[in-house]
Amino acid sequence: MTNPLPTGATIGILGGGQLGRMLSVAAARLGLRSHIYEPGANPPAADVAHATTTAPYDDAAALTAFARSVDLVTYEFENIPTEALDIIEAITPIHPNRRALGTSQDRLVEKNFLQGIGLNVAPFADITDAASLDAAITTIGTPAILKTRRFGYDGKGQARLKSPQDAATALADMAGAPAILEGFVSFTAEISIIAARNPQGEVACYDPGENIHRDGILHTTTVPAKIPARLRTDAVLLAAKILNTLDYVGVMGVELFVTPQGLIVNEIAPRVHNSGHWTQNGCAVDQFEQHIRAIAGWPLGDGSRHSDVTMENLIGKDMDKVPALAREANCALHLYGKVETKAGRKMGHVNRIT
């Protein structure tokens, strides 16, 4: 059993974006330091980190020095090269573990895993070429979505098939990358549950939030989600099953479709999740601190909520709304310090206490 990390210990974080930034602040709140590893210059997380390494993920010397300078390593995104993880793991523990990472890095592996532990997922098929796509369309039908198995996020690496005639175009969009075809799920709502597990095996969940997407990017999360108590229980139980099966340590975001037949797991993210940002202003222990508590072997917060919250992402030109948002009562601003505003770029979010 891991001893809890003491005051002054250092957590290494792979990735210096907004998630790394908010993890770093949470670590500080527990008296811990953070060391950011990020290839890009001036990452948002560096503004609130004890130390920052600027180096690519194929720099073995930098990775080695980084791993030696910290007590354990975590990450803010799942697409970390395997070789980098191998170098780090030879020196210091990585949480969440490699199995969780490997599972979530590949949509086919993930779907097989979820189905294998008895959870419902959308109908899916492994697509390697035009013939396997044609066969899958026959089984699954259209509408459907073709998705790359790896490196997809915020709607990237996806092509919709309205009818079988779209097959060739959709396959071309994959640019030869391995893919899966997913059947269309007719859902009444999309929710997510943020769950955590520590090395002692304690599991804690926040109440599910209801998500609205725009252009494939999360727009708002409203907590609590308007779902029957029965489905809340289902969400907690299935999240716990995923975490326990993976011997998971850390916070996980689990995206779910609400359908007349019950919950269908859309995808899992082995990290703090955009749909959990509401916890910063709704709970005594937010998802970022919960993740740090879990990986540091501390007791978990119980996930209880003192306030209902709607989180809204500030994307690209939404930053123009900041002066008005700063005047709004019960509206908590969380800006990421990104100097350059780009279309589709997550610049910050607000939590409205309702």
Tell whether residue 351 is a contact of its own copies (CB under 8 A).
yes
State which of residues 5, 11, 14, 49 lies at the interface with its own copies (CB under 8 A): 49
State which of residues 1, 131, 175, 329 lies at the interface with its own copies (CB under 8 A): 329
Tell whether residue 131 is a contact of its own copies (CB under 8 A).
no
How many other C-beta atoms can be found within 10 angstroms of the C-beta atom of residue 60?
13
Footprint of its own copies on residues 285-304 (CB under 8 A)? 285, 293, 298-299, 302, 304
CA 108 vs. chain centroid, Å, equals 17
What is the rounded CA–CA span in Å between residue 309 and residue 288? 16
Tell whether residue 140 is a contact of its own copies (CB under 8 A).
no
**CA triple 272-187-256, angle to 5 deg:** 20
- In the shown chain, the binding pattern of residues 5 to 24 toward its own copies, with x for contact by CB under 8 A and - for none, equals --xx------------x--x
Tell whether residue 277 is a contact of its own copies (CB under 8 A).
no
What is the rounded CA–CA span in Å between residue 50 and residue 149? 36
- In the shown chain, the binding pattern of residues 226 to 245 toward its own copies, with x for contact by CB under 8 A and - for none, equals --------------------
Say which amino acid occupies 18: Q
Q: Please, what is the minimum distance in Å from the beta carbon of residue 284 to its own copies? A: 4
Q: Hey, what are 286's tokens? A: 């937010």
Write the DSSP assignment of 108-157 as a string of letters: HHHHHHHHHTT--B--EEEE-SHHHHHHHHHHH-SSEEEEESSS--TTTT
49 or 133: CB nearest its own copies: 49
Tell whether residue 46 is a contact of its own copies (CB under 8 A).
yes
Strand order of the β-sheet with 33-38 is 51-54, 33-38, 10-14, 72-75
Q: Please, what is the minimum distance in Å from the beta carbon of residue 151 to its own copies? A: 29
Q: Are strands 51-54 and 33-38 parallel, antiparallel or unpaired?
A: parallel
Tell whether residue 326 is a contact of its own copies (CB under 8 A).
yes
174 or 223: CB nearest its own copies: 223
Q: Which residues make Cβ contacts (< 8 Å) with residue 245, sequence separation at least 6? A: 117
Tell whether residue 316 is a contact of its own copies (CB under 8 A).
no
The stretch near its own copies (CB under 8 A) out of 88-96, 207-215, 242-250, 278-286 is: 278-286
Say which amino acid occupies 173: D
What is the rounded CA–CA span in Å between residue 71 and residue 249? 15
Q: Please, what is the minimum distance in Å from the beta carbon of residue 201 to its own copies? A: 15
Footprint of its own copies on residues 164-193 (CB under 8 A)? none
State which of residues 2, 4, 184, 185 lies at the interface with its own copies (CB under 8 A): 4
State which of residues 28, 55, 177, 217 lies at the interface with its own copies (CB under 8 A): 28
φ and ψ at residue 194, rounded to 5 degrees: -105, 120
Q: Are 276 and 211 in contact (CB under 8 A)?
A: no
306 or 342: CB nearest its own copies: 306
Q: At what angle do helices 98-105 and 82-89 cross, to 10 degrees?
A: 180
Footprint of its own copies on residues 257-276 (CB under 8 A)? none
- Residue whose token pair is 């859309």: 266
6 or 344: CB nearest its own copies: 6
**Binding-site ranges for its own copies (CB under 8 A):** 4, 7-8, 21, 24-25, 28-34, 46-50, 281, 284-285, 293, 298-299, 302, 304, 306-307, 319, 323, 326-327, 329-339, 348, 351, 353
